[in-house]
Chain A
Amino acid sequence: MRAWYHARTVGQKQAVWAWIFLALPLFFFIAIRLFPTGYTTYVSLTDWNLLRPKNFIGAANYLRLWNDPIFWQVFWNTFKYLLIGMPISLVLSFLVAYYLDQVRFLQGTIRALYFIPFLTTAAAMAWVWRWFYQPVPIGIFNLILVDLGFSQQPFLRSTSQALGSILAPAIWAGLGFQVVIFLAGLRAIPETYYEAARIDGVGRWTILKEITLPLLRPTILFLVVVSSIGFLRIFDKVYNMTVDGKGGPLNTTRPLVLNIYQLAFTDYRMGYAAAQTMVLFLVLLAVTVVQLRALRTK
């Protein structure tokens, strides 16, 4: 062994060491990511319910899914979280970062204040917000509304307002992270770009549109992908803010992940849950690939 090692070239020795160090993460990647993915694919083609042995039933789970109105509702809910949540959170965090970047006074403190929600336990935060949404005299939002002379709102108990009410804390919690990333992106743009523009007499709006945003492209790309994946996988807020964690009322807030969870661990329909998991996986893959393509720099 020793002799074999000493006979290798420097390049080969480096490769040996690289593989030794890569072995552990590679093992975890295969055992915890790759294998379950393959196993899920297999389970999705069976009628497994934990008790009886797995019977191969072909694409039956996928056919059922295609004809299941709840699946389609849940599928659409998931995209609502993405299509509303992602743009709003990006615009908000950019605005905060853009103005915060120009503030010198207490900048660190303000940045920390935005970041704290990101560090807070999601479940605890969801429950506090659930509290905020309660009717008078408990919920602070309704108290404010009534004080201002408006009527009380049902929030989480309304089929039309519940999804938005859950999105609000979700956006709020992720804002700090996005602000910090945007700030880093803004800092990376050399000051002389702005000075050159000032000498040329370029207006603020043009500077933003023609210099800042194009140069922030990699930052924006990163945040769009990360935040899209985050919203597509939303679970904890919905689970903690709806009655019995069911994504109600009437499934109007139930996202795909929660549906999979309910199918698998309340109803024990493992095969069907696995089939929906595969759909989620393909959606995440597609969204990521499309966004990487669309925003790739030429």
Chain B
Amino acid sequence: MASVSLSGIVKRFDRTVVVHGIDLDIADGEFVVLVGPSGCGKSTTLRMIAGLEDLTAGQIRIGERVVDRLEPKDRNIAMVFQNYAIYPHMTVRKNIAFGLRMAKLPKPEEDRRVREAAEILGLVDLLERRPSQLSGGQRQRVAIGRAMVRNPAVFLFDEPLSNLDAQLRAQMRLEIKKLHQTLGTTVVYVTHDQVEAMTLADRIVVMRDGRIEQVGAPTELYRRPASMFVARFIGSPSMNMIPGVIAEGVGAVGLDGVGTVSGLGELENASAGRRVFLGVRPDDLRVATEAGGGPLSLEARVGVIEPLGPETLVYAEVGGRELVAKADGRISLRRGDVVRLVADVDELHVFDAETEVVLRR
């Protein structure tokens, strides 16, 4: 087990800079998820930790050792790939033991480790099968087993669940989390799926265009996004953004064509007249049928309704703009109904329209 520390790592392919100087400290035993849209540099960062890509600049430490110049095999890491990378011509047993054979372990020790991993992953009955006889989830388990038997200090996962269907993905997600709780090994996990990031991570690192946008615990990122990008990326459906302008007086924002919100308190370096976005999550935007006051109270016309069972997503038009609200599943609404969308002051976010940085914490 070990901590991982990245300082100022840069990756350039020819002229394109893919990773712009990332600093990140991962504690021993921590589960860290790198998340972001495709092309944000998350996979490249992971591959640099693995040693599959060279660093252009910066330094990587695993435990106390600087590893940037070490071969992948000498870094004491194991990696699980998106397409599993298990060999079709070998049995499950051979696949799991393949890396061990190179370590020249005594045969009984090798068998013991394979057995142990197979038991934890529920692969005991499948050891003599070939990958073609396995389901996607089982294949992914074999790939994890191959990583496990090496007793690495750090597990690296590169979008391991992307090739699975939704149901299996949820199941494997749970298994990976359990596995981490059992083994307690440091994990660096890359995904583009914010749900995976939220559910698995001790800490999430949101990346964008080769830079870290925000680092924090899942609830922190959800509750206190530092930028519009993070606010939109984390949470589903995305946060509603209503354009507006900072009004005279403390904590007031004039929303374009909808009215004014007040009582927002101190806004950071906000001068009257500055363009902003008021953000509110669908979960925090309640549907009220009677007129009522509140810091945010908007009259809306119901458009599309998506019943999800326990709750219903209501797409409603406010001043020519569509907002999404989450309502109780038992609500009865119809297209064209006029409702009020209400939110508490604590759930409102204000972002600078130009820098996209949050102005209210």
Tell me the A residues contacting B by CB distance below 8 Å.
190, 192-193, 195-203, 206, 210-211, 214-215, 217
Contacts and interface: CB of A to CB of B under 8 A. Distances in A.
A124 B51 CA distance: 52
Contacts of A199: 50-52, 72-73, 77-79, 99
A196 B102 contact: no
Interface stretch (B85-93, B200-208, B277-285): B85-93
B83 A192 contact: yes
A195 B52 contact: yes
A200 B97 CA distance: 10
B150 A200 contact: yes
Given A195-B52, A196-B81, A215 B88 contact: yes
27 contacts: A190-B83, A192-B83, A192-B85, A193-B85, A195-B52, A195-B81, A195-B85, A196-B146, A197-B98, A198-B72, A198-B73, A199-B77, A199-B78, A200-B98, A200-B99, A200-B102, A201-B71, A201-B73, A201-B102, A201-B103, A202-B98, A206-B102, A210-B98, A211-B87, A214-B89, A215-B88, A217-B89
Contact of B89 (A192, A195, A197, A215): A215
Q: Which of A196, A197, A200, A203 has the most CB of B within 10 A?
A: A196
Given A198-B73, A202-B99, A203-B102, 7 more contacts: A195-B52, A195-B79, A195-B85, A198-B51, A199-B77, A201-B99, A214-B89
Contacts of A206: 102
Contacts of B83: 190, 192
Contacts of A215: 87-89
Contacts of A193: 85, 87
A192 B73 contact: no
Contact of A198 (B52, B82, B89, B146): B52
A115 to B, nearest CB: 29
B263 to A, nearest CB: 54
Interface string B59-85: 000000000000111100111011101
Interface in B77-129: 77-79, 81-83, 85, 87-89, 98-99, 102-103
Nearest to A200: B99
A196 B150 CA distance: 13
A202 B50 contact: no
B81 A192 contact: yes
A196 B99 CA distance: 9
Contacts of B51: 198-199
A199 B81 CA distance: 11
Cβ-closest 5 pairs across A and B: A201-B73, A200-B99, A192-B85, A196-B85, A214-B89
B117 to A, nearest CB: 14
Nearest to B80: A196
A207 B340 CA distance: 65
Interface string B127-140: 00000000000000
A101 B50 CA distance: 24
Contacts of B52: 195, 198-199
Contacts of A203: 102
B339 to A, nearest CB: 51
A196 B51 CA distance: 11
Contacts of A198: 51-52, 71-73
A61 to B, nearest CB: 48
A192 B82 CA distance: 9
Contacts of B77: 199
A188 B245 CA distance: 56
Nearest to A192: B85
A192 B73 CA distance: 15
B353 to A, nearest CB: 42
Contacts of B82: 192
Nearest to B158: A192
A120 B52 CA distance: 43
A298 B71 CA distance: 36
Contacts of A196: 79, 81, 85, 146
A211 B98 CA distance: 11
A297 B88 CA distance: 11
A246 to B, nearest CB: 48
Contacts of B87: 193, 211, 214-215
B75 to A, nearest CB: 8
Nearest to A196: B85
A210 B97 CA distance: 13
